[in-house]
Structure 1
């Protein structure tokens, strides 16, 4: 992005935190995030306050600018909270596929040197704590924040988002760990942040070998989100974006959450992992203007037996991405789902 041809849209040189701060100033009482399954809503003002609190908490635990924190789990509020809290403190978020088993998890943690890992105790058949113990048997007998693992030498901090387990911090403890001195430290760190610094490592699927970590900077993510928002036509108005896609993938984390932090749209998460029925319900109940998903997600939604009972009249467009889209599927989405402004 340093060498560019003619462009009417100048590239932004902002950090993720600066974007969120500015948007929270503009739209403090607007919904930033809605998690339908958990009945959880956060306005921009609430979200911004909790992001700063969480960032100060991460510093209080001993994490520093440049450290890597792995976020491993389905779509829930703590995922987005960690996405922005790490960015505020200059900590690099590592997006970990929630379906990973022990060997894949170990590969990713070792590859990028994760110092911290955040996850729920369990989701569906995935018992995250038990999976981690396969690579880190020392976890159970460790003091929180003091893990010394033979196979995962960089890992010292494990945070669970629901129940507190041996060797872990609970997310509530992280939220309460930061005091005024850590807030002061956070402000000092923010003064040193550059938009060219790495802030997120996303892993490729690894279909032809081991997954590869792609390192993204604030500048990458902010400009990607800026251009997505402009292309979708998101303006000052209150736009609501349905997100059935997973947060560990950039379609939801950048195309959803970073667009929210920059353009002031609202992210509507229908369920922790994809469910066609829940996605349609969320669009109908929350009056979504846009819907982002993969071709298989849209095919699933279109084939719901009670598809015709959902009011999708609020929709105008969205993003379909991740794999090639058959033209007939595109036509069905545009006509049956009221999405004339669909982007591929």
Structure 2
């Protein structure tokens, strides 16, 4: 067991109050650069726009505790929603832009969202089209008065526009029109803020469950504000730092380890693009003289291997966070040597713990940064237990990693039974991850108790994919596992038993998935089999499926980190 330092106290403020204090110290310091939008905002300007938006949201009749969702890639509007909702106690619900109709319908209804802010379209994704598919009756009412049988709680949809451009969307509201209704000096904003407590829920993020659809991990001001602060402390952020954030804001990685780490330290947020593109990351780091860079290992690999990599001056870089999946030693060495990230840190956690429980620091030896996920964060405890007995294991012995402290979520939204399964009576969050801890407190993740697959930083639970594939009329049975992949860490593989008298091809099954589940959840490998390997008691042996696929594909797992 290990306990984090307590010499630096926890921040016992709401996100809004903490942000206001930073603005007061440095109103004219640059807070945000959204490169792809051509926008720059000082701390004072960001505060003004966030208060205008908060005023506009209250003007729609929303009250503290109401859930409002955002379905978008990275942009200024996203961080404005993050700040505005926190300012007046609205619970921001993060919707993954890869979600499709069934997933967004479930998410919006599960937590009862009253308002949704969305990108209209992105590449091949037509977000407004998907919404109209769910609610074809929209388009006849006034914005703010939508009615739908399939989305009964949702009364307002706001689409992110470029002010003055593009045709109107019948029944829906422009973001520029919404924020234009607000007043930064609206007394209702301060009145709502004064009623809030750090322990109030302020954010819901969906995490894939072991059965059925995702669960809504509910996080408080205290959870995510402090986690962002202490992650910034690990990176030794100051107002002089400029952090390039290519990771998505709908994950804790972007909104907590990115936005809140910067905003609690007075640093500058830099969004290189709306979605990840290695060339724009390199360009933004050079042009904006970024000192920090976040990413999952696949992002760093894409940047390092870009044919134009050597054209860019990255000498201003020093720190950042790599997380999401294990990083091979050779890649970490290239990141340090070729990208000048001598003080890059490694972080480990899960959405339910806001997210980081363990992290290396800027002065952690490189071998420890590669081979471990660092040590326990301040004001937290971690222990490694025998999953059978619950006893703490000896140093170096594998067991389940558990976390306790301020970062543990408020609970799963409207699901006390699942919350009780995850958090025990003593407040320990059971992660389901297998880990070891050495005598110095360095933690190494060695596997997963559950069957979670991590593909390019996305956490995927096979059961969710299996339940979806069962919907195909020709599928009798299906089992989904993860197999090693050099690019994404893992890829999904589905073994399918077809109903007697039916025929099915992998192309047909993938087409069945498109537009209904997120692209990263569609199995790359599909095999049609007569049955599955089982124990004598009838339990399916997924490890044998994985082993068979690794042999078929000639794959080996890299467990260097």
Q: Note whether the superposition's TM-score is higher than 0.5.
A: yes
Matched, 1:231 2:231: no
Matched, 1:279 2:278: no
1:187 positional shift: 1.2
Alignment of 1:198-217 (within 5 A): 198-205=201-208, 209-217=212-220
Alignment match, 2:188: 185
Alignment match, 2:354: none
1:8 positional shift: 1.4
Q: Secondary structure at the match of 1:244?
A: coil
Alignment of 1:139-288 (within 5 A): 139-162=138-161, 163=166, 164-179=168-183, 183-205=186-208, 209-235=212-238, 237-288=239-290
Report if the CA contact (8 A) 1:61-1:177 is conserved. no
Alignment match, 1:12: 11
The superposition leaves residues 238-277 of structure 1 with CA deviations (integer Å, 9 ceiling, x where unpaired) of 1100011111011111111112221111011011100001
Alignment match, 2:425: none
**Cα distance in 2 between the residues matched to 1:151 and 1:82:** 25
Report if the CA contact (8 A) 2:51-2:183 is conserved. no
1:209 positional shift: 4.4
Report if the CA contact (8 A) 1:74-1:246 is conserved. yes
The superposition leaves residues 123-167 of structure 1 with CA deviations (integer Å, 9 ceiling, x where unpaired) of 111111111112122222221111111111110111111153111
Structure whose residues are more often helix by fraction: 1
User: Normalising to structure 2: TM-score of the pair?
Assistant: 0.59
1:6 positional shift: 5.5
Report if the CA contact (8 A) 2:291-2:318 is conserved. yes
**Cα distance in 2 between the residues matched to 1:148 and 1:96:** 21
Cα gap change, 1:266 to 1:110, in 2 (>3 Å): same
Structure with higher Rg: it is: 2
Query: CA RMSD for the aligned pairs?
Result: 1.5
Q: Secondary structure at the match of 1:86?
A: helix
Q: Secondary structure at the match of 1:215?
A: strand
**Cα distance in 1 between the residues matched to 2:307 and 2:37:** 25
**Cα distance in 2 between the residues matched to 1:138 and 1:253:** 34
Alignment match, 1:329: 331
1:178 positional shift: 3.0
Structure 2 gap segments, 5+ residues each: 347-561
Cα gap change, 1:5 to 1:319, in 2 (>3 Å): closer
Alignment match, 2:81: 82
**Cα distance in 1 between the residues matched to 2:62 and 2:137:** 20
Q: Secondary structure at the match of 1:247?
A: coil
Quick check: 154-163 or 310-319, which moved more?
A: 154-163
**Cα distance in 1 between the residues matched to 2:321 and 2:194:** 35
Q: What is the number of equivalent residue pairs in this alignment?
A: 339
Alignment match, 1:303: 305
Report if the CA contact (8 A) 1:72-1:117 is conserved. yes
**Cα distance in 2 between the residues matched to 1:104 and 1:215:** 18
The superposition leaves residues 66-89 of structure 1 with CA deviations (integer Å, 9 ceiling, x where unpaired) of 011110011111111111111111
Cα gap change, 1:6 to 1:240, in 2 (>3 Å): closer
**Cα distance in 2 between the residues matched to 1:313 and 1:323:** 26
1:179 positional shift: 4.8
Q: Secondary structure at the match of 1:140?
A: coil
**Cα distance in 1 between the residues matched to 2:114 and 2:130:** 17
Structure 1 gap segments, 5+ residues each: none
Q: Secondary structure at the match of 2:36?
A: coil
The superposition leaves residues 256-309 of structure 1 with CA deviations (integer Å, 9 ceiling, x where unpaired) of 111222111101101110000100111011001110011110010010011111
Q: Secondary structure at the match of 1:284?
A: helix
**Cα distance in 1 between the residues matched to 2:263 and 2:187:** 23
Report if the CA contact (8 A) 2:68-2:91 is conserved. yes
Alignment match, 1:23: 22
Report if the CA contact (8 A) 2:56-2:179 is conserved. yes
**Cα distance in 1 between the residues matched to 2:267 and 2:4:** 29
Report if the CA contact (8 A) 2:297-2:326 is conserved. yes
Report if the CA contact (8 A) 2:159-2:175 is conserved. yes
Report if the CA contact (8 A) 1:293-1:320 is conserved. yes
